Chain A
Amino acid sequence: MLPKTYHLKNYDFFLILFSLAISILGVVIIGSARESYQFRQIVGLVIGVVFMIVISLIDYRTILNFYWVCYALSIVLLLSVLFFGRTLGGATRWITVAGIRFQPSEVAKFLLILFFAKFIMKTKDKLNRPSRILTALGLFLLPWYLVYREPDLSTSLVFILIFLTMLFIGGLSWKVIIGTLSVAVPVTVLGLMLVLQPNQEIIKDYQQARILAWLQPENYSNDEGYQQQNSIVAIGSGQLLGKGYKNNEVGSVKNGNFISEPQTDFIFAIVGEELGFIGCMAIIILILIIIVEVIRTGWSSSELSGTLVCAGVAAHLGFQTFFNIAVTTGVMPNTGIPLPFVSYGMTSLISIFMELGVVLNVGLLRVRDRI
């Protein structure tokens, strides 16, 4: 049934084990944050694992052959948000199909990783030509813009970082990288200064407010910074061991309803408060192990496309985790992004498991030993 090249010893049970471990930890924490969401997260986890296993058994190269379909599909999904999307809290990020609500940008992440893996591989030798770079950029900008204008600034940032990582791994020359950086960094700094001017029209007011709230939390204690301040207090007051899972202490920030959306973007505040520094480190280390596994798999891949898929997935998990925790601990402005594996959100969870499915298949088809 399965191709003969599949060897059981190449199947990365380790990766499955750790991703299951952190997802189950996530389910447990959601039980404390908002118990009512726990069951749906379990359902998402089961579906995700099933998808992962099914995908892990399909030759990824076969899938990559349909890379234009992937691209088209991601554009269709993102466009459907534009036309049929449901607005919640000022942003349109969800669509409902057959009664199931899901977030196309999460699926698009998965599809675009696949697309660019193949696309970059095919143009590898000419990648450093300006025409190629511009083509890649153009192909990226369309879906990116659709995400950006949902608006979903944080996801669009993750998109950029995944895309850049894949270009980098695909062999973009250092000359181009350094040249770009020397332009991009000053532009970013200047841009930041510009968008913080009153009455600017570059970013939306609420986005500006969030950046300002991060820079001057004391002036925004009742608005944007309020969420983040409370999250910092929750995490800080958890100290080494935390206040205890599902505790009923008066001094609990969560119990006082000071954390809004504790099951999604600010779930890490619950981890910090209830499980303490130990719990936080557990989450960070588990995700790091998963990322290392993914990168190891990419290393061992015989084909560049496999390496690129793994790099994209690693970038996705790494940067998104960083953004989320950086927001909840006040290192970065409030951008609103879920913590991989842990935050509630079926689309996000299933998409990640689908990505891991592809990574598992890359591992199955590897030629050289992993480091």
Chain B
Amino acid sequence: MFEQLRDKFISIVTSRLFFLLLLIFTLFSVLTLRLFKLQIVEGASYLDNFTLKIEREKTIKSTRGSIFDRNGISLARDTLAYSVTIEDNYDSGSGKNKAINETILRLADIIESNGDKLNNDFSIYLDESGDFRFALEGTRHLRFIADIYGRTSIDSLKVREKNSTPDEIIDYLCSEKKFGIGEYTEKKDGSFDFVPKKGYTDEELIKVITVRYNLSLNSYQKYISTTVATNVNVRTVAEVMENKDVLRGVNISEDTVREYINDPSFSHILGYTGKISEEELALYNSHKNPDSSMDAQNYELNDYVGKAGIEQVMERKLQGRKGRQTIFVDNLGRVTETGDKTDPVAGNDLYLTIDSDLQKAVYQILEQKIAGIVISKIVDQKPADEAERSSSDIVIPMYDVYYALFDNNFLSIDHLYGENAGPDEKQVYGDFLIKQNAVIDMIRNELDNGVLPYNDHVLEEQSYIAYVISLLKSSKRNVLPGESIDEENEVYLKWKEGTCSLREYLKEAVARGWIDSTRISSEKKYMDSDEIYQVLVDYICSELSKDRDFSKRIIKYMIRQDEITGNEICHILYEQGKLKDIGDNLKELDSGEVTPYRFMLNRLKSLEITPADLALDPCSGSSVVTDVRTGEVIACVSYPSFDNRRLANTVDADYFASLQNDKSLPLYDYSTQQKTAPGSTFKPISSAAALEEGVINPGEEIKCEGLFEKIVPSPKCWIYPGGTHGSLEIVGAIQNSCNFFFYEVGYRLSSRGGYFNNDYGLERLTKYVDLFGLTEKSGIEITESEPDVSNQDAVRSAIGQGNHSYTTVGLARYVNAVANEGRCYNLSLLDKLTDSNGNVITDYTPGVRNEINIAGSTWHLIHEGMKKAVENYGAFSDFPLTAGGKTGTAQQIATRPNHSLFIGFAPYNEPEVAIATRIAYGYTSSNAAEVTRDIFKYYFKTEDKDDIIKGEAVLPDSAAISD
């Protein structure tokens, strides 16, 4: 029995079937062990990790804090806005691309037909000539390319991908395996034949690609919907909602957008918000945050932050804290369940020290006065040759005004031949083409055969010929790079002198290899010098015909030669929609009742065309008003300005480009960034130095001799050679702004042991400059230029010349310290910070930088001088309050008008406000004085508002006065 069993056992164990069973059993044991490890040993960690994987935090935007003026008037706030969003809830399959693309096109149509714009944040755009172009450069561009091709880093990009052209990327994205943008023809079996791009215009392509690309970025986080258009109007909302059944995945979401007070005077102070850049993101998130006692503020790529002005400076205070919502998502990021939620905390509200009413008024006062100055200088004549002009007798020929309209892009050359061109535009453009051909023929002839040296050409031709070289040197083309030129070269030196022809110079440039021929020809084959020169000639002629700056030069001479008439230009202003015909303006012009000259003056008078539109001298001005007792800035105005509402939220790229090309520099803050010499506004500081250093005694008289001959070359008093001031005490010297007196002060300050020591004088002068706060920035929170204290020529420095250079806001701090007799504040725009419920968090008060400890008698004499000075000024003859002030004139360049400056305070006995005003190239200091006077009048309400702010140009009311 046992043996039987044993035999059986052996036969089984040795059988091959048993071997099979054993093998299978072993394999299954492996599986069991594996399952034991996965489920029992590591099970808990798999569960935890998975929960982490599907858990997401969705941020809930906080409301950005509002900004108010000192009286609680809202300047900036978040308001509710509607956005159009789309999400990809389309069934995957062959028809998916077609369905989404058609929805997007239809949606774009709805949005645009209601006057809204699609968000355009794709890094390829369609330029004016209809070509696709990249919007980014450098690393950011490569990052974009890597994203397109789905590479995790720039390094993993293939060379071919790295060098993709915009068109190649568009083709790639339109292909069937990507977004499938094109025409489908359905075959019988339900599949599609596909032709990329077919059936789409380039504009449509870029719209669809923009949305598809943004959608694809969210393809694994479908809980984030993609925004198609921001801040759309109610008509768009209504139409989208009506068509919701056909617009699959499309939704309207409520969002906030930044809304600003509708007045340009605030734009520089407030700045604007925009989508955070990668640089800002890195900065804000890495920043060692001084407020880190609060939660670390984690910025994200879709956040909006302050891009300029107070919005940028106070970013962290205004931003608020985001709310968070925990959600759980599936494999495509669709929400399956929601979890914990933290509500967002609204940002803090900020109150500025600015009085918004005064701020607006100052802007208008500046504009109307600057317009008045321009009008008063316009003469009905052709321009004299530039070389013959001098600072004192500069006028503005009307022909320059006509040309300025084109030069500053107020009138568009491209509009002349566009679809909407009017009859006068067509006429002018026809004439322009004839002239342009003639000019380019002249240039070609000059290049082919020219032997006449540059200097022997007439001015007009010189202008064109000179442009050829600047064209080749321009950084965009870089055909003749400056660094390649041998500056010792004989021909080059002759060209510099103007004693050789353009042809000779360029032939030499080709022969010497200064010309980068790869930039003018795509031909790879070797070319000899003559061939290169021929290619260069063709290149120049073809580029000139496309170059708008060259067109402007041609137009300039056409205007001068009456080939474009004033009458035509007046009409073109209407044809381009720059003027609206109110009343019978055009009729009067056409009937001859009004000459084009008078017509233009009227438009300038009515401010239909502003000084900033022309960008002639003067076109800018700035004024800063401070509270003498507290150091608070109550108005800080830079003219011209811009509409920050068009830059906020999503940038209006065309508008931004036009601002950058505007020669009046509207983006530049003239009040905090422009620096010029202070001129005679500096004299109160010299007076303080003179009295305190004891180089002048209070009653001491100095006799003005006109020419200050103690130094050579000898500077003159402004009155000389027309006369001299005679003997003056310090009060009279300030009153009459006697240069001779202050030259002597500068000279005496420099005297050490009987010898003249320039550095010693500068050192002593600088001590007082520093006391009045002009060695440092004023303390104002927005961007400000560093001041330059003169470090040369102590004698001239004492009258505000030398190389002193200060901002208007710096002068404002200085005059504020003069007015309150010695308290030099750090100026501030900030009044208080409150939480969203109005509880004060921080009450800002301007800090005192220093107290100026000088004798009461010194203050008295300076004030007395400034009071008498004001009494002298015609500008203040009808001003009912007493005031102290000082004008200043600074010449920057002889061919342009002088800068006009004024500092002042009022009322004289108990000063409340101090003002610094500057009109760069404003001819005479009385203009700045008049602006300041009008601001005083407005502030003290001594005159009716409407009498101060006229809504039209205000001519200078006094003849040029001396200073």
Closest residue of chain A to B21, judged by CB?
A295
Whether, in the assembled complex, A299 has its beta carbon less than 8 Å from a beta carbon of chain B, the answer is yes
Complex interface: chain A residues within 8 A of B942 (CB): none
Take A251-B51, A253-B50, A371-B8 as given contacts and tell me if A240 and B40 are in contact as well, using a CB distance cutoff of 8 Å. yes
> When the two chains form their complex, are residues A250 and B328 in contact, meaning their CB atoms are under 8 A apart?
yes
Interface size class of A (residues with CB under 8 A): 35 or more
CA distance A311 to B24 in the complex (A): 11
The contact of B38 among A235, A319, A326, by CB within 8 Å, is A235
Interface size class of B (residues with CB under 8 A): 35 or more
The contact of A284 among B15, B28, B39, by CB within 8 Å, is B28
CB distance from B149 to the nearest CB of A (A): 15
* Stretch touching chain B among A33-41, A107-115, A139-147, A272-280: A272-280
> When the two chains form their complex, are residues A250 and B35 in contact, meaning their CB atoms are under 8 A apart?
no
CA distance A329 to B8 in the complex (A): 38
> When the two chains form their complex, are residues A233 and B49 in contact, meaning their CB atoms are under 8 A apart?
yes
Whether, in the assembled complex, A203 has its beta carbon less than 8 Å from a beta carbon of chain B, the answer is no
Whether, in the assembled complex, B30 has its beta carbon less than 8 Å from a beta carbon of chain A, the answer is yes
CA distance A331 to B36 in the complex (A): 13
CA distance A233 to B331 in the complex (A): 13
Closest residue of chain B to A232, judged by CB?
B38
Take A251-B54, A322-B31, A329-B38 as given contacts and tell me if A169 and B20 are in contact as well, using a CB distance cutoff of 8 Å. yes
> When the two chains form their complex, are residues B28 and A277 in contact, meaning their CB atoms are under 8 A apart?
no
> When the two chains form their complex, are residues A240 and B43 in contact, meaning their CB atoms are under 8 A apart?
yes
Whether, in the assembled complex, A256 has its beta carbon less than 8 Å from a beta carbon of chain B, the answer is yes
Q: CB-defined interface of A162-177 with B at 8 Å, one 1/0 digit per residue? A: 0001001101000000
Closest residue of chain A to B48, judged by CB?
A237
Whether, in the assembled complex, B894 has its beta carbon less than 8 Å from a beta carbon of chain A, the answer is no
The contact of B35 among A230, A257, A281, A315, by CB within 8 Å, is A281
Whether, in the assembled complex, A318 has its beta carbon less than 8 Å from a beta carbon of chain B, the answer is yes
CA distance A277 to B39 in the complex (A): 6
Whether, in the assembled complex, A151 has its beta carbon less than 8 Å from a beta carbon of chain B, the answer is no
Whether, in the assembled complex, B330 has its beta carbon less than 8 Å from a beta carbon of chain A, the answer is yes
The contact of A239 among B24, B43, B329, B337, by CB within 8 Å, is B43
Instruction: Tell me how many residue pairs across A and B have CB atoms closer than 8 Å.
Output: 129
Q: CB-defined interface of A237-256 with B at 8 Å, one 1/0 digit per residue? A: 11110000000001101011
Take A236-B42, A256-B54, A258-B331 as given contacts and tell me if A280 and B27 are in contact as well, using a CB distance cutoff of 8 Å. no
CA distance A51 to B602 in the complex (A): 104
Complex interface: chain B residues within 8 A of A258 (CB): 330-331
Take A288-B24, A295-B21 as given contacts and tell me if A232 and B35 are in contact as well, using a CB distance cutoff of 8 Å. no
CB distance from A166 to the nearest CB of B (A): 10
Whether, in the assembled complex, B332 has its beta carbon less than 8 Å from a beta carbon of chain A, the answer is yes
CA distance A239 to B50 in the complex (A): 13
Take A237-B47, A298-B17 as given contacts and tell me if A255 and B330 are in contact as well, using a CB distance cutoff of 8 Å. yes
Whether, in the assembled complex, B6 has its beta carbon less than 8 Å from a beta carbon of chain A, the answer is no
> When the two chains form their complex, are residues B35 and A169 in contact, meaning their CB atoms are under 8 A apart?
no
CB distance from A58 to the nearest CB of B (A): 24
Take A299-B15, A322-B31 as given contacts and tell me if A250 and B20 are in contact as well, using a CB distance cutoff of 8 Å. no
Whether, in the assembled complex, A325 has its beta carbon less than 8 Å from a beta carbon of chain B, the answer is yes
Take A236-B39, A239-B39, A288-B25 as given contacts and tell me if A331 and B20 are in contact as well, using a CB distance cutoff of 8 Å. no
> When the two chains form their complex, are residues A291 and B35 in contact, meaning their CB atoms are under 8 A apart?
no
Complex interface: chain A residues within 8 A of B30 (CB): 322, 326, 331
> When the two chains form their complex, are residues A236 and B38 in contact, meaning their CB atoms are under 8 A apart?
yes
Complex interface: chain A residues within 8 A of B332 (CB): 257
Take A256-B329, A280-B39, A325-B31 as given contacts and tell me if A232 and B46 are in contact as well, using a CB distance cutoff of 8 Å. yes
- Most chain A CB within 10 A, of B12, B20, B39, B49, is at B39
Whether, in the assembled complex, A307 has its beta carbon less than 8 Å from a beta carbon of chain B, the answer is yes
Complex interface: chain B residues within 8 A of A238 (CB): 39, 43
CB distance from A321 to the nearest CB of B (A): 8
CA distance A350 to B274 in the complex (A): 65
Q: CB-defined interface of B394-416 with A at 8 Å, one 1/0 digit per residue? A: 00000000000000000000000
CB distance from B345 to the nearest CB of A (A): 28
CA distance A168 to B18 in the complex (A): 12
Whether, in the assembled complex, B16 has its beta carbon less than 8 Å from a beta carbon of chain A, the answer is yes
Whether, in the assembled complex, B336 has its beta carbon less than 8 Å from a beta carbon of chain A, the answer is yes
Whether, in the assembled complex, A54 has its beta carbon less than 8 Å from a beta carbon of chain B, the answer is no
Whether, in the assembled complex, B140 has its beta carbon less than 8 Å from a beta carbon of chain A, the answer is no
Q: CB-defined interface of A293-314 with B at 8 Å, one 1/0 digit per residue? A: 0010011000000010011001
CA distance A277 to B36 in the complex (A): 7
Whether, in the assembled complex, A194 has its beta carbon less than 8 Å from a beta carbon of chain B, the answer is no
Closest residue of chain B to A161, judged by CB?
B23
Whether, in the assembled complex, A91 has its beta carbon less than 8 Å from a beta carbon of chain B, the answer is no
Whether, in the assembled complex, A292 has its beta carbon less than 8 Å from a beta carbon of chain B, the answer is yes
CA distance A168 to B15 in the complex (A): 11
Q: A237-B47, A326-B30, A371-B12 are in contact. List 7 more A-B contacts (CB 8 A).
A: A251-B51, A256-B328, A280-B35, A284-B32, A322-B30, A326-B34, A329-B31
Return the 7 tightest CB-CB contacts between A and B, nearest first: A236-B46, A239-B43, A318-B24, A237-B47, A256-B330, A236-B38, A277-B39
- 19 A-B pairs whose Cβ atoms sit less than 8 Å apart in the complex: A168-B16, A233-B46, A235-B38, A236-B46, A238-B43, A239-B43, A240-B39, A240-B43, A251-B54, A256-B331, A277-B35, A277-B40, A284-B31, A288-B25, A318-B27, A318-B28, A319-B27, A322-B31, A329-B35
